[in-house]
Structure formats: C-alpha cells, structure tokens
Structure 1
Amino acid sequence: MILNTDSTKPIYIQIAEWLETEILKGNIKDDEKMYSQYQLAEMFTINPATAAKGINLLAEENILYKKRGLGMFVSPQARPLIRKKRKAHTLTRLVQELVAEANSLDVEEEELVQMIKAAKQGKEEG
C-alpha cells in the first residue's frame, strides 16, 4: 500500500484502514501480533508517532488489544467489528452518494438495482 499524502484523510487514519483491510483479508489473524509502530513507520516511511496513532485508534475501537510487554494483538471480534463499522459509515455514505447521482441522472430505481446486481456479479454495464 502507498499512502496518499495528497489526501485530506490523515495518514494515521490511512494506516488504521490499511490494517483493518489486512485483518479483513485474513492476512493478520485473530490473536496474532500486530505490527509495531516502528515496523509501520519503517514500512511506510512515516513518523513512529503517526503509526502509533493509527494503532491506538484501532485499540480504542477494540479491534486490537494490548498484551503488557508484548505489544498489540488482533482482537477475536476484530473482523465483525470492522465489517459493522465500514457498513455503518463507509458503505452507507457511498450508497447515499450513488443514489444522489442516480437521481440527478434520472436513473430509475429498478435500473439502479440492476446495475448494482451486475456490479456485484462482476459484470460491467455499457
């Protein structure tokens, strides 16, 4: 992953989202040790404090937990928590934007539903 330094999204949030995606993909499993702030800082060429802020954000959301003297680990409920959070925030926002755009283009509901179904099946609409 390459961080987007031009984005309005803070780097620590981008780090947290990348870690969430790695957990969702199964690349980092339940109760597995998370990267340290120093490993992340080296991987992404960022300040360790910025990396720590991303890790701490996930800890505050109970996606990670701390084992004293050992570091941060992936919570057993991390994947459901991430899915719930992304569904409630990211997906809802995207759907609202999609519906607003469809309305501005006079796309009927059924046509929009068909487009979504096709996209979900991996087909492109022409």
Structure 2
Amino acid sequence: MGQLFHDNKPIFLQIKEKIEDQIVNNQLKEHDQIPSTTQMVQFYKVNHITVSKGINLLVEENIIYKKRGVGMFVAEGAREKLMQNRKELFADNFVLPMIQEAKKLGLTDTDIANIIKKVKECDLNES
C-alpha cells in the first residue's frame, strides 16, 4: 500500500483523484462502469468506508452516478467538468505562486516564458 498512496492527503481523496485521473485521461469514458467499491477495497487494501467516502464525493459532484443493483458509471459531461475544475486549480495552485515568486526575483514575462520553454523541452527529451 505504501507506493499507492502518500501521506500528505487523506486516502479517500487520493482514491477520488485516481478515478478522476482515469476519466481525464480517457481511460474511463461517459457511461463506462467504474470498478465496484469491493473491487477497490481489495485492490487498494483499504477500508470499505474509505473507498465509499471517495466515491460519494464523485457522486455529489455529478462525476459518477449509481444504478441501484448494477454499479457506478461515469456521468455525461464528467470529463469536461473535471477539465474545467483542474484548469481553475492549475491557475490558483501553480501559476499564481509562480508569478508571485517570479515577481520577487524580478523576472520579466519573457524570462518566465523562456524558463517554461526550457523546462518543457527538457521534459520532452526525457520522455
């Protein structure tokens, strides 16, 4: 279990995010059935309540829906909703702190763009 989860976030949120990642990456598409709670409990080796908490958050956010007696499925428009949420979080969690730090360092927009370009090229070369 150590490699599946990290300590800086509750496990139920990490399970939720793993399902979200599968939707964003098109591994799970609209109306695809997601693994059952029991399957996830066995796979992740965590408590049933932990998995249920993550699943219930996705249901509340209309990312997945339940068919009684059948299972849980990816909701229509789930990927678009997740992508929009992640874009907003990206700006708040990554871009804003980067801009604030760049300002402290006296970096210009051109400097920032060049740094991003350089990092992106390195990442592409490593892939």
Q: TM-score range by the shorter chain?
A: 0.7 to 0.9
Return 5+ residue gaps in structure 1 as ranges: none
Aligned Cα root-mean-square deviation (Å): 1.8
Aligned to 1:45: 45
Distance in 2, matches of 1:88 and 1:47, equals 32
Contact 1:23–1:79 (8 Å) recurs in 2: yes
Residue 89 of structure 1 deviates from its aligned partner by 2.0
Aligned to 1:123: 121
Return 73-82 or 109-118, whichever deviates more.
109-118
- 1:13-38 residue CA offsets vs partner (Å, 9 max, x unmatched): 11111110011111112101111111
Distance in 2, matches of 1:12 and 1:91, equals 24
Aligned to 2:101: 101
Distance in 1, matches of 2:32 and 2:48, equals 21
Distance in 2, matches of 1:12 and 1:90, equals 21
Residue 103 of structure 1 deviates from its aligned partner by 1.9
Q: Greater helix share, 1 or 2?
A: 2
Distance in 2, matches of 1:42 and 1:104, equals 48
Matching of residues 1-126 of structure 1 within 5 Å: 2-4=4-6, 6-7=7-8, 9-119=9-119, 122-124=120-122
- 1:20-77 residue CA offsets vs partner (Å, 9 max, x unmatched): 0011111112101111111111111111110111111111111101112112100121
Contact 1:37–1:49 (8 Å) recurs in 2: no
- 1:67-118 residue CA offsets vs partner (Å, 9 max, x unmatched): 1211210012110010011112244221111112212222112211233344
SS in 2 for 1:123: helix
SS in 2 for 1:124: helix
TM-score (norm 2): 0.85
Return 5+ residue gaps in structure 2 as ranges: none
Percentage of pairs with the same residue: 36
Return 72-81 or 34-43, whichever deviates more.
34-43
- The alignment covers a number of residue pairs equal to 121
